[in-house]
Structure 1
Amino acid sequence: MTGAVVVDHPLVRHKLTLMREADTSTASFRQLLREISLLLAYEVTRDLPVELVEIDTPLTRMKAPKLAGKKLVFASILRAGNGLVDGMLDLVPSARVAHVGLYRDHETLQPVRYFFKAPADLSERLVIVVDPMLATGNSAVDAVTELKDAGAKDLRFLCLLAAPEGLARFAEAHPDVPVVTASIDERLNEHGYIVPGLGDAGDRLYGTK
């Protein structure tokens, strides 16, 4: 699928299988999502720019690489996106966090906005938008549009699962935003859920259903 990078690491595949299982507990699902988010974050940040700085080791002075530029922004599509952001912050604790409040109307399958809060200087930062599921693509498209309207210019989208329909919709709306995912599943069902999928990520993360 053009524009999508699938993280095909054995640990990612293993943890995703455990998350898919219907009898995985809320606590285990939450922990697995936190763990897998670290591995996905590693991939989506692979090409961050670095600069050489002089440091003192216990033995000598040397030039060594450090991240260059302003801190990253992790933009969570509420509420399930927080499950990914929590783990990603373990890897990049200095990152800023934006929140985009969207929920899907189960009748129309369209996103409904209810909250937006982000750093003021988005135009100067890499923004990584996160949501466990890229299903219909409507919420992802809407969130990225809102972030662009707020000034973001350099964006990436990170998800746990993607459906071909959602990837196509997202690529059509935002061809400039690369997608990183753990799996591209078969399809959407008549209710807009990813098949085989893992159910509603938010409900399984927070034990609300």
Structure 2
Amino acid sequence: MTITATQAAGPVDVTVNETVNETVHLLPQTRQLRALHTVIRDRHADLGRFVTTSGRIIRQLIETALDLLPYEPVDVQTPVGETYHGLRPAKPICGVPVVRAGESMEHELRAVSPGVRIGKILIQRDKVTKLPRLYYSALPADIDRHSVLLLDPMLATGGTALAAVEVLLDHGVAEDDIVFVALLSAPEGIAAVHARHPNLRIVTSAIEERLNENAYMIPGIGDFGDRYFGTDVPR
């Protein structure tokens, strides 16, 4: 099956297997979303515009991810005395950003779910082995009873995502209770994640063409963390 991701660089056909299609939730590729991507992919976008525009996309991703979580029925009384048969989350929600870039997504999650609990995972690539290395994690003691949104704007090779998922699994979180939320995803990263965790759900706003020889996404966005936090500004 082919997903057509209309991006700033034009329509991109990304072929993924049936299993991936069942678990990857790509935001509707509307003209508005493409316009937002045009802003954040522009190398000349200033810090304020980049932060505001990426936040608008992240909010859509968070809302989509929350819709994938389990819900249970609940009845409430309306102001006119009638009963509304509604829904509420079946489990408490925990957001876990992968530090540093993932923290850019924390604000949007708190905006739509003010009481959400937040964990942290710090994973960086070892300069010698080139493999992801866990440096720090701080998670709620009862995270195994939560639905978890794992937040990281970039899903490139999949190495960091896999390492972060393993941290959650080691803390007793079920794979079915994890939703990985990424602004951009590379086909290689999606394939790597689903090779080990075929049922893990991924929410993303764009599927890129490919990774280049330096593992950067094409057409890409650059270093999201540096651009979002303003650390890419020359001295």
Tell me the alpha carbon deviations over residues 17-70 of structure 1, each in whole angstroms, 9 at most, x when there is no partner: 21111011112111122211111111112243132223241x223234241333
Which of the residues 60, 66, 81 maps onto 2:81? 60
Q: Distance in 1 between matches of 2:139 and 2:87?
A: 25
Q: Distance in 2 between matches of 1:66 and 1:164?
A: 35
Which of the residues 86, 93, 110 maps onto 2:107? 86
1:6 paired residue number: 26
Q: Distance in 1 between matches of 2:108 and 2:229?
A: 15
TM-score, scaled relative to structure 2: 0.83
AA paired with 2:74?
L
1:200 paired residue number: 223
**Structure 2: any 5+ residue segments left out of the alignment?**
1-15
Instruction: Percent identity, please.
Output: 31
Structure 2 vs 1, CA of residues 180 and 53 (structure 1 numbering), >3 Å: closer, same or farther?
same
Q: Distance in 1 between matches of 2:84 and 2:114?
A: 24
Q: Distance in 2 between matches of 1:106 and 1:88?
A: 32
Which of the residues 26, 29, 44 maps onto 2:65? 44
AA paired with 1:202?
G
Tell me the alpha carbon deviations over residues 122-176 of structure 1, each in whole angstroms, 9 at most, x when there is no partner: 2211111110000011000000011110111111111011111111111112212
**Structure 1: any 5+ residue segments left out of the alignment?**
none
Structure 2 vs 1, CA of residues 108 and 18 (structure 1 numbering), >3 Å: closer, same or farther?
farther
Residues 78, 100 of structure 1: 8 Å contact kept: yes
Which of the residues 190, 194, 203 maps onto 2:213? 190
- Per the TM alignment, residue 106 of structure 1 is displaced from its structure 2 partner at its CA by 5.5
Q: Distance in 2 between matches of 1:44 and 1:52?
A: 21
Q: Distance in 1 between matches of 2:187 and 2:29?
A: 20
2:170 paired residue number: 149
TM-score, scaled relative to structure 1: 0.92
Structure 2 vs 1, CA of residues 88 and 155 (structure 1 numbering), >3 Å: closer, same or farther?
same
How large is the RMSD of aligned CA atoms in angstroms? 1.6
* Mean Cα deviation higher: 95-104 or 3-12: 3-12
Residues 13, 182 of structure 1: 8 Å contact kept: no
Which of the residues 142, 151, 158 maps onto 1:130? 151
Q: Give the number of equivalent residue pairs.
A: 208
Q: Distance in 2 between matches of 1:173 and 1:93?
A: 33
